[in-house]
Structure 1
Amino acid sequence: MNQKQMLKKSIEKAFKGGWDKEQDWFPDRQFTILKITEENENYNIFKYALNYVNTFLAQEIVKDGEGAKKFITVHVKGATSKKDAKVLSKSIITSNLVKTAFFGEDANWGRILAAMGYSGAYFDPSKVSINFKNGFSSINLMEDGTPVKFDEDLAKKILKKTNITVEVLLKEGVGEAIAWGCDLSYEYVRINGDYRT
């Protein structure tokens, strides 16, 4: 992979592939890239660092969303294809009902499943498992398409945190994708409701 391809792939992965702010991706955004040295023993180190920096910047942009209180990672695993995994993860993270459930600290697996359903991507609902995670804490909400009785206090503890991961396991194939987003708060409505053009 040449330098131009490496840069393009890193930027696409971090900025266009993993977050719900595509509407904010304007052509006037500019990057300053210095000449990358030719492939040598440091190439992989540079590639790793470039991916790390681009991912960090993309996540910081999401965290800086208007009125955002929580940073949410949706990780879809086991889809029929990477494309389906990406469509599903984006559908979940861009759902206003999912975003408001996170703001309200509600472990609402139904909104996640609904967002998956209208995504257009293939999945078998009877194989879906959904988990919420934060650091060392995790809670299983659905296993093989069946809702699981879960500890509401533990769910609330996880959802009170500012960084939450939603893990969706599909058991269909090897397709995998991650999308980042934020919750939808009263502050978001206030900021945009008060805005005048």
Structure 2
Amino acid sequence: MNERFWELSALIFLVFLYGLGLCAERVWRHSVELNGVKTGAPAPDSWAGRYLADVAGASPESRALLADGFRLKITNRVAIVRHIANALVFLGLIGTVIGFIIALSGVDPETAGKAENVAAMVATLISGMSVALYTTLTGAILYTWLTISYRMLVTGAVDLITATVELGEARGRTG
């Protein structure tokens, strides 16, 4: 395999690992927060705890505005994972372009007619095409994996937002 393939694939994989680690951290944080909300006593320094402290004694209109702000904060913290997943596709496409550049760099129109030069040109062509195809495949597979992880994160975020706002509203109506 071409050295460029390994370099590009390593870069794509490192970006994937960063995104996956970030996703795992957010899933864990949402899980801890959701567990606190479901017990009715989230930690005061948690996102949910701060939201519930803000809505305590607030009017219904203020609670609605605070709920919108809470939704935005949580979804903003999740969106970065989607952006990293999209970057994986672009990195794979950059690898495709680099692979084609490598493939075409070995073709010399002036010497292509000589039989002794064809083998070297074909070898460079194959090497470049392998970089192009493998980096595209690497980016696409890791994009799919991170996107699935992202969807799980979004589900947890929606559950956290819903449970927290419902708890805030229940406390607001009785308080």
Which has the larger strand fraction?
1
TM over 0.5: no
Give the greater-gyration-radius structure (CA): 2
TM-score by length of 2: 0.25
TM-score by length of 1: 0.23
Greater RCO between the two (CA within 8 Å, min separation 6)? 2
